[in-house]
Chains A and B, each alone.
Chain A
Amino acid sequence: DGGITQSPKYLFRKEGQNVTLSCEQNLNHDAMYWYRQDPGQGLRLIYYSQIVNDFQKGDIAEGYSVSREKKESFPLTVTSAQKNPTAFYLCASRNLNGAKNIQYFGAGTRLSVL
């Protein structure tokens, strides 16, 4: 099946701990994105990447880090510097050459702090 796979579905973080959220896509999409969603809030952009080995900060990048070593993978690390990490994290991807360039989403990871 083609799509975007996020894992794990639920994740718990202890104080001072770094955690990594996985995002893999087999759609051969060029661009990948990470968004954060809080209750009553819209999706806010954390990081995005349009090509391998390159990524750009979004509106709320502080306390997060990413890598793009392979086209299919765009993991997000929530570092201990992120003081309020509890949220729903959504990964997305799109093909830069498509006419509509629709952005598709994974099923999300819900992160909570212990």
Chain B
Amino acid sequence: GQNIDQPTEMTATEGAIVQINCTYQTSGFNGLFWYQQHAGEAPTFLSYNVLDGLEEKGRFSSFLSRSKGYSYLLLKELQMKDSASYLCAVRVRQAGTALIFGKGTTLSVSS
């Protein structure tokens, strides 16, 4: 079966750096996505990795190792508005074009 694991909750302080890990066991891997979701709102796209390595976009970076079934999202210079859930999602060929989501990591940033 398909399985995606990420920590349930994390806490950090303003200005700090936090790394949110995601491990997956899937067949037919075809890309990994990170989304941000504020409470009661729609998920918004953050990053996409399909090849091994690091993708950097401003304060956010995402890393992928396909051989290890592992990804992380790195958030730098944390701000209060970064308090949200972060969803790891994998696209697999067998699921057509849909994504399989982890349960999400709720990040709380304090001052």
Asked whether A103 and B99 contact (CB < 8 A) given A42-B87, A42-B104, A43-B87, the answer is: yes
Contact B103 A56 (CB under 8 A): no
Size bracket, chain B contacts: 20 to 34
State which of A31, A35, A48, A105 has its C-beta within 8 Å of the C-beta of B44. A105
Smallest beta-carbon distance A5→chain B, Å: 11
Q: Mark B67-111, 1 if CB is under 8 A from A, else 0.
A: 000000000000000000001010100011111111110000000
Counting CB contacts under 8 A, is A102 at the interface?
yes
Query: Within 8 Å CB of A94, what residues of B?
Result: 97
**Is the Cβ of A50 less than 8 Å from the Cβ of B104?**
no
B96 touching A102 by the CB < 8 A rule?
Answer: no
Interface mask (A95-109 → B, CB under 8 Å = 1, otherwise 0): 010001111111110
Chain A residues, Cβ within 8 Å of B103: 40-42
Contact B42 A105, beta carbon cutoff 8 Å: yes
A42 to B40, CA, bound (A): 14
* CB contact between B97 and one of A31, A100, A106 (< 8 Å): that residue: A31
A: interface residue count bin: 20 to 34
Question: Which residue of the partner chain B has the closest CB to A108?
Answer: B42
- Complex CA gap A25/B30 in Å reads 25
- Once A42-B4, A96-B97 are accepted as A-B contacts, the answer to whether A107 and B102 lie under 8 Å apart by CB is no
A50/B33 contact (C-beta < 8 A), A42-B103, A105-B42, A105-B43 known:
no
Which residues of A from 78 to 114 have beta carbons under 8 Å from B? 88, 90, 94, 96, 100-108, 110
Residue of B nearest to A30 (CB): B97
Flag whether A33 is at the interface (Cβ < 8 A): yes
A14, B111: Cα distance in complex, Å: 44
B residues in contact (CB < 8 Å) with A: 4, 8, 31, 33, 40-45, 48, 87, 89, 91, 95-104
6 further A-B contacts with Cβ under 8 Å, apart from A43-B87, A90-B43, A102-B33, are A45-B99, A45-B100, A50-B97, A105-B42, A105-B44, A108-B42
